[in-house]
Structure 1
């Protein structure tokens, strides 16, 4: 075995540096440093080289976690198979139960009147539907959906080149816009006789003060984290630059969402037809018989199967989108400026729905289970279930959920980069961040809040403009506010999806930066200049400081 003098000397230097400045928020050094978990005499050189070889896997990948892909495929096949059976064997007399009568001689129900329901007997009133409001709503939503594409690209361009300006310009609007809407609603409701009758003055004042308190909490959050605003701006700029270099994601990710919607359509039809599987049977009540609809016993089980399949498919598709974002951004990160990656998006899609499809299915299953458990815990909390046993179980479940969130934070990002299985990716990503004194719990939560605030401000301004235009060119009156609110909600959803993608980019660059630090390499210097300013993990730093003197 080679001598350990150089390694011990480096470790002593690093130990003295950490002990001289025990501040837990000191940024990482800008120059590369050796891995923090130095091997003891029992560790082998092969383990060290294994740690240093983490990088993007460009070569062919083997199938990982394939049993979960098989389980998911069987679940989908069973859902579609029983759905087709339910559609073919449905009872056409389901809607004619009222036309059946009980035949005492045969003790059965007989059909006496078979007539198709006449939709003309209940004419639709255009006045009841408010056709003018509906037409304005449709045109407004269509225009908003069309304009959302250039709007998202425009926001991305602003975040790439003018991040600091747009953040500092938007910060006052985080307070101005909610306060304006709150006060405007209070005044408008006071002036309107119908609204003032529905909401007495005491309720209006209570709502006004409550919203102002929420705005005050938001202001307090930004004041407390003001020292991190500059770092957040740089992180957003790096992520926006990375996303602008891979604009193909804006076509693929919505396409995957559309595929999920088309995949859901036949399952919804199967669920509707499954309700028609049954028969009309006599039912005795108080000595009198009547004819009722009795559903087949297997229908509830099919509903449970189909709903489980839909939930698992939704979470798996979300994880697949994160995988696609991570794999594409990682190829851009590890490529040289003069050697841009070719077909990176196609390669990532092939990996996501090929060798790593089992990993994506496993990740989606775990996320689905955790969300269901969290929903059950929240439901039990709302019901205020008493008892020490319920309290202990709730605490244990919350601890398990928190542990899963901790382990799952960067697992799918790491799997997209290396092609490893889910469990190996979870373990290796935690070890990678631990060796480099980086936190596995969060990257920079302020960036998400600022982006959400920017999205809210931009969508609110758009809704105000839409409301003014509708009131100027139309005669909808109060209904103009409803149309503007729907336009605001649609644009907020689109921009919220954009923020979600940008958050995935931030996480991916963070993992890539950790891999660079682990190897002592610099693939994207602009990313290193920003992420090196992130605070050191408090727990990992103290643990290393306690261990270092033993190496002497």
Structure 2
């Protein structure tokens, strides 16, 4: 394989390994001026794509400027909220309506203070055991999540097939266990039996088993793709294990977003304090009420939109950093290692390509918002053919945006091109190499998510058993176990997200290799060549079924 790789590398002056090579170039034409153009199928007419190691110009700069302006307005008006607050908000209960002056005047009322102090005392005294168990469980879960992720990566790298095939039965066993457990527990509990009659319990019980049957059918229908999925996950795990620095950078970016959110949340809290106490008439009686300034709702809208856009920008920046790091590993020879790949990816993500990242985040934010509005309108079941047609058109438009956005950031991280150019060139790259522009292998995402769910569920069962035996919090042990399950599945979900982006990046790198007629990573070509073959030559006996 090594000799084949070297033989496939170009020996022309346009060698991709040369740092001075331009990002996109056309080979010099050897035609005479009067000769007709080359046929459309001639590969030399396409721009050659490679990783851009050199300095990158700023792209999509207007969207970066727009994002900075939105953030500055959010922080500027937030600071104004802090200094413009009305200190009388906390003393609202002490204001009484004065008939003589027809206004609210301050009196003396300390009941609210004593009531709040009493509520806090009752809460802290009654729930101290629950809070102590909850805090310790979440802290231990957060600490253990780090070695769990590294252990899972190591197992997926060396024992991918064993992990996948051992996990498959748990997709069925764990739902069956929880379904039987809740049914028996509710039957033996008198309070649950009174609140949930037997007929409804049986209906839910049967419904859950129907869902389990659908999961079994999905596995049977897609069994011919499991082996290929195992190899894809193995290749991605090997690539991620050679770039372990991503496990430090990605959480740090997330913590940076949390730190960035803190002042905005403070501004939102102080925003409620901007207003005045005014008399309000209700059923012929006047009382004192708080009236916010008219600009406060507008600021709330601005701040929430800024937080949503910042979240999607961070997600796209993480994808950019992952893609740039993995691409540098991919296009580096076997006898050498990429230097400062994560640092250069970070510099490009928050430097020349920051406008592209902001644009991609804005599109994702708009798509999610519009989709939420459409889903809300669908739940309201508004009649009318026009409304139905509009929903179909909007869903088609949103699907087209998702389709174009699938590999755009991955491609931009490799080439440094602008968003629209990356979207167009990615589609053309995959299309002319007869590769899928939708996704690499959707089964891999489902399997990885399922493995994360299984590990989190087993951990939650162990936590619940320990709390039942070592504490006396009773029913709250289930609450603590569920919260521990949520925390662990969030961490493992982030791990799956990183591995999923690695799969997509390797796919794009494989397409670039195939487009240039090169083989940088023979082990990747051996796997992804089977992916193309499996899509083009499906077994006639294998059933076809959509993945859900």
Give the equivalent residue in structure 1 for 2:25.
none
2:67 maps to what in 1? 72
Whether contact under 8 Å (2:104, 2:288) holds in the other structure is yes
User: Partners of 1:364 and 1:56 in 2: how far apart?
Assistant: 23
Of 30, 36, 60 in structure 1, the residue corresponding to residue 55 of structure 2 is 60
Please provide the CA RMSD for this pair.
2.3
Deviation at residue 94 of structure 1 after TM alignment: 1.2
Q: TM-score, normalised by structure 1?
A: 0.87
Structure 1 CA distance for aligned equivalents of residues 74 and 188 of structure 2: 55
Q: Is the 8 A contact 1:443 1:510 kept in 2?
A: yes
Structure 1 425/397 Cα, relative in aligned 2: closer, same or farther at 3 Å? same
**What is the aligned partner in structure 2 of residue 244 from structure 1?**
241
Note closer, same or farther for the CA distance 1:52–1:528 as it changes in structure 2 (3 Å cut): farther
Q: CA deviation at 1:98?
A: 3.1
Which residue of structure 2 lines up, in the alignment, with residue 117 of structure 1?
113
Q: Which residue of 2 aligns with 1:309?
A: 306
The alignment covers a number of residue pairs equal to: 501
1:91 and 1:490 mapped to 2: Cα distance?
Answer: 38
Runs of 5+ consecutive residues of structure 2 not aligned to the other structure = 1-30, 537-548
- Matches of 1:296 and 1:537 in 2, distance apart? 62
**Among candidates 178, 184, 187, match of residue 190 of structure 1:** 187
Q: Secondary structure at the match of 1:283?
A: strand
Kindly indicate whether the alpha-carbon contact (under 8 Å) linking 1:439 and 1:536 is maintained by their aligned counterparts in 2.
no
Aligned match for 2:379, one of 371, 374, 382: 382
Q: Secondary structure at the match of 2:456?
A: helix
Aligned-residue offset at 1:211: 1.1
Q: Is the 8 A contact 1:437 1:537 kept in 2?
A: no
- What secondary structure does 1:93 align onto? helix
Shift of 1:107: 3.8
- Secondary structure of 1:460 counterpart: helix
Deviations 1:338-386 (A, max 9, x none): 1100100000000000000000000000000000000000000000011
Distance 1:269 1:49 in 2: 58
For the 8 Å contact 2:93–2:109, the answer to whether it is kept is no
CA distance in 1, matches of 2:197, 2:311: 43
User: How much has 1:134 moved relative to structure 2?
Assistant: 1.9
Instruction: Please give the TM-score of this superposition, normalised by the length of structure 2.
Output: 0.87
Shift of 1:42: 3.5
Q: Does 1:98 align with 2:93?
A: yes
Post-superposition Cα deviations, 1:441-486, rounded to whole Å, max 9, x if no partner, equal: 1110011111111111111111222222222323333332222222
Q: Greater relative contact order: 1 or 2 (C-alpha under 8 angstroms, separation 6 or more)? A: 1
Q: 2:333 aligns with which of 336, 339, 351?
A: 336
Deviations 1:152-175 (A, max 9, x none): 000000000000011111111111
1:51 equivalent in alignment to 2:69: no
Match of 1:33 in 2: none
Q: Aligned residue for 2:131? A: 134
Pairs within 5 Å for 1:299-448: 299-448=296-445
1:531 matched to 2:535: no
CA gap of 1:288–1:366, structure 2 versus 1, over 3 A, is: same
Which residue number in structure 1 is paired with residue 4 of structure 2? Answer: none
Equivalent residue, structure 2, for 1:264: 261
- For residue 178 of structure 1, what is the aligned residue in structure 2? 175
1:88 pairs, out of 83, 96, 100, with 83
Once the two structures are superposed, residues 287-325 of structure 1 have per-residue CA deviations (whole angstroms, 9 ceiling, x without a partner) of: 554332221111111111111101100001000000011
More displaced 10-residue stretch of structure 1: 166-175 or 466-475: 466-475
Query: d(CA) in 1 for partners of 2:279 and 2:488?
Result: 53
Q: 1:50 to 1:487 in 2, by over 3 A?
A: farther
2:123, 2:97 → 1: CA distance?
41
**2:142–2:487 Cα contact (<8 Å) kept:** yes
2:462 aligned counterpart, secondary structure = helix
CA drift of 1:510 comes to 0.3
Query: How far does the alpha carbon of each residue in 1:188-215 deviate from its partner, in whole angstroms, 9 at most, with x for none?
Result: 2212222222222112211211111111
Unaligned runs of 5+ in 1: 1-38, 540-552
Deviation at 1:284, TM superposition (A): 4.2
Distance 2:459 2:535 in 1: 43
CA separation of 1:62 and 1:483: change in aligned 2, threshold 3 A? same
